[in-house]
């Protein structure tokens, strides 16, 4: 890389979160949007931390930087969604991210499994990103303008994530021998679990009726299945199996060991000193 001087890394031209009056929203709708935002924020937060585990050990140096950058993007999206929720509920985004009990996190079960090998990570991330893109598309015209605005920004970044994950799935999935075998194994293990991204939400009908979410989660799941299956079949990989999103896909009364480990990791600094600033 060149040693030429770089411009400052953070150039906030305008705040990412638009200003709005939360009290103008119907309380039931506000609660439903807040719940939706928490699931999206937790998804992005957990996948961001999961994938950042590759920093320093990715298959090649360039991919190490690229994959870490993708993981950082997801943490950035999580921040936006936590902030937007905070603007609705008065909660502190930092407390939402770092000061909840493991059982209170609402991410999809798909994201609970440890990162495992590169093919597993790519397959899981591909499943998540394709599902997330269907969900984001269903929010693009949300009647709650601040959400539509945030979603529009996030989608522009997710476009590149999809390009990158597609490129990797194709390379691994069509490379006969070990990589393809590992992708097939990961798909077998994960394809059905990926439906947990579309687990029904409390207040989902309120969101649909108010024109925030364009269709119920079960319909989005069907949309995703048909899109993802078309892509997988083009690579001669197995289709997404039929099935409906499990109603408890985001519930974790007893968080599994893998998520408990991750939770301890990402809360370790926050738990060291209450109220620490950095």
Partner 1 sequence: MTDERRPAEGRRDEAGRLGAGADPDVWEVFRREKDGDPMRHAGNVRAPDRELAMHYAREFYSRRNESVRLWVVPRTEISDLSDPDLLQPPLDRSFKKPGGYVMRDKLEIAKRRAGEGAE
Backbone angles phi, psi at 146, to 5 degrees: -60, -35
Q: How far is the CB of 79 from partner 1 (least distance, A)?
A: 17
Specify the residue, 77 or 85, whose C-beta has the smaller distance to partner 1: 77
Specify the residue, 72 or 258, whose C-beta has the smaller distance to partner 1: 72
Residues 6+ apart with CB under 8 A from 224: 130, 131, 134, 197, 198, 240
Q: How far is the CB of 68 from partner 1 (least distance, A)?
A: 9
Whole-number Å distance between alpha carbons of 156 and 134 = 14
Specify the residue, 69 or 219, whose C-beta has the smaller distance to partner 1: 69
Q: How far is the CB of 126 from partner 1 (least distance, A)?
A: 15
Specify the residue, 2 or 101, whose C-beta has the smaller distance to partner 1: 2
Q: How far is the CB of 173 from partner 1 (least distance, A)?
A: 15
Q: How far is the CB of 171 from partner 1 (least distance, A)?
A: 8
Dig out the tokens for 95 from the structure.
């407390």
Residues that bind partner 1 (CB under 8 A): 1-2, 6-7, 9, 11, 60-63, 65-66, 69, 160, 163-164, 167
Q: Tokens 């799935």, residue? A: 169
Q: Of 115, 123, 150, 157, whose CA–CA distance to 238 is shortest? A: 123
CB contact at 8 A, 201 and 207: yes
Q: How far is the CB of 59 from partner 1 (least distance, A)?
A: 11
DSSP 31-73: HHHHHHHHHHHHHHHHHHHHHHTTTTTSSSHHHHHHHHHHHHH
Specify the residue, 163 or 233, whose C-beta has the smaller distance to partner 1: 163
Backbone angles phi, psi at 255, to 5 degrees: -55, 140
């Amino acid at each position: 890389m060149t040693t030429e001087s770089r411009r400052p890394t953070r150039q906030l031209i305008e705040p990412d979160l638009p200003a709005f009056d939360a009290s103008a929203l119907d309380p039931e709708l506000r609660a439903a949007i807040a719940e939706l935002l928490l699931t999206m924020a937790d998804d992005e937060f957990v996948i961001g931390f999961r994938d950042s585990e590759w920093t320093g050990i990715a298959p090649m140096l360039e991919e190490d930087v690229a994959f870490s950058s993708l993981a950082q993007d997801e943490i950035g999206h999580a921040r936006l969604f936590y902030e937007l929720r905070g603007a609705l509920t008065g909660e502190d985004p930092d407390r939402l991210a770092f000061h909840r009990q493991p059982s209170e996190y609402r991410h999809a079960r798909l994201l609970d499994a440890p990162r495992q090998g590169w093919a597993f990570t790519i397959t899981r991330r591909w499943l998540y990103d394709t599902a997330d893109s269907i969900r984001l598309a269903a929010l693009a015209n949300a009647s709650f303008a601040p959400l539509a605005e945030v979603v529009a920004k996030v989608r522009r970044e997710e476009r590149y994530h999809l390009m990158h994950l597609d490129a990797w799935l194709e390379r691994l999935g069509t490379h006969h021998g070990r990589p393809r075998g590992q992708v097939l194994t990961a798909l077998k293990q994960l394809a059905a679990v990926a439906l947990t991204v579309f687990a029904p939400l409390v207040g989902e009908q309120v969101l649909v009726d108010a024109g925030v979410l364009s269709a119920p989660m079960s319909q989005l799941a069907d949309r995703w299945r048909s899109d993802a299956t078309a892509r997988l079949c083009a690579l001669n990989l197995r289709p997404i199996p039929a099935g409906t999103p499990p109603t408890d896909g985001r519930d974790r009364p007893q968080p599994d060991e893998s998520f408990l480990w991750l939770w301890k990791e990402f809360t370790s600094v926050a738990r060291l000193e209450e109220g620490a600033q950095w």
